[in-house]
Copies of this chain bind each other. A is one copy, B any other.
Amino acid sequence: MIYWIELVAVAGCAVSGVLAAAGKKVDLFGVMVLAVVTAFGGGTLRDLMLGETPVFWIRDPNYLYAALGTAVFTFFAARQFPFPAKVLQIADAAGLALFTIIGARKALVAATALGQPIAPLIVVTMGVVTGVAGGAMRDALTGEIPLVFRREIYLYATAATVGALLFTWLRSRGWDDARAGATGSAAILILRLAAIRWKLSLPIFRRHDE
């Protein structure tokens, strides 16, 4: 079940990677790279830092098939049809919600395997890294200041943080994976969509003299 949700999240991120190439003279291969980096970047970084190697998509090629298939499909489909921005935002928010919780969950499991407790804040951080880093790498590769840092996208990483905190707290209170995960994911999804709807954002950094 989680496995199929994960493949869908991979496909959603792959689409956002492809569409980031618009207007940048990126060729078919570059589009596939952007799709893979967006979909796998966060989880790869998490696996590397936890020492869980070979990383997840090397152990199971279905992730790669899902990402590359989606990228090629989107490459040709986007020439024919407009992609409605609303559908995309929902898909992107769903991807953020799912990857963040999957990432936090893997950090909890890894903690058990290491025989060493991982601090809750680290679990949350691993969740946020998993949810957010792929998109940041996509932006860096296409020469943008990563969107995740900028006010214009409204609450994004913050939504991931709140959901990951909620998930970690519920798990520590004895909730099972499925219920805690669904609740955490729902929190991220709702907060993210509310942020888009009502333009909620964090204060930006300003120096004293600005």
Query: Residues on A close to B: CB < 8 A?
Result: 18-19, 21-31, 33-34, 44, 48-51, 53-55, 57-59, 61, 64-65, 75, 78-83, 110, 114, 116, 118-119, 121-122, 125-126, 136, 140-146, 148-152, 157-158, 161, 201-210
In the complex the two chains form, is A145's CB within 8 Å of B142's CB?
Answer: yes
How far apart are A168's CB and chain B's nearest CB, in angstroms? 13
Give the number of copies in the complex. Answer: 3
Neighbour of A58 across the interface among B49, B144, B206, CB < 8 A: B49
Known A-B contacts A26-B204, A27-B203, A58-B49; A141 and B151 likewise in contact (beta carbons under 8 Å): no
Known A-B contacts A122-B64, A149-B33, A207-B22; A202 and B28 likewise in contact (beta carbons under 8 Å): yes
In the complex the two chains form, is B59's CB within 8 Å of A49's CB?
Answer: no
In the complex the two chains form, is B150's CB within 8 Å of A27's CB?
Answer: yes
**CB nearest to A160 among chain B residues:** B29
Neighbour of A205 across the interface among B75, B145, B148, CB < 8 A: B75
Can you spell out 26 A-B residue pairs with CB atoms less than 8 angstroms apart?
A: A22-B205, A24-B145, A25-B152, A26-B149, A26-B150, A26-B205, A27-B149, A28-B205, A29-B161, A30-B149, A48-B49, A49-B55, A58-B122, A59-B116, A61-B119, A64-B119, A65-B121, A79-B206, A79-B208, A82-B209, A83-B208, A136-B141, A140-B140, A140-B141, A141-B145, A143-B145
A143 to B125, CA, bound (A): 24
How far apart are A141's CB and chain B's nearest CB, in angstroms? 6
How far apart are A46's CB and chain B's nearest CB, in angstroms? 10
A19 to B22, CA, bound (A): 29
Neighbour of A146 across the interface among B61, B141, B151, B157, CB < 8 A: B141
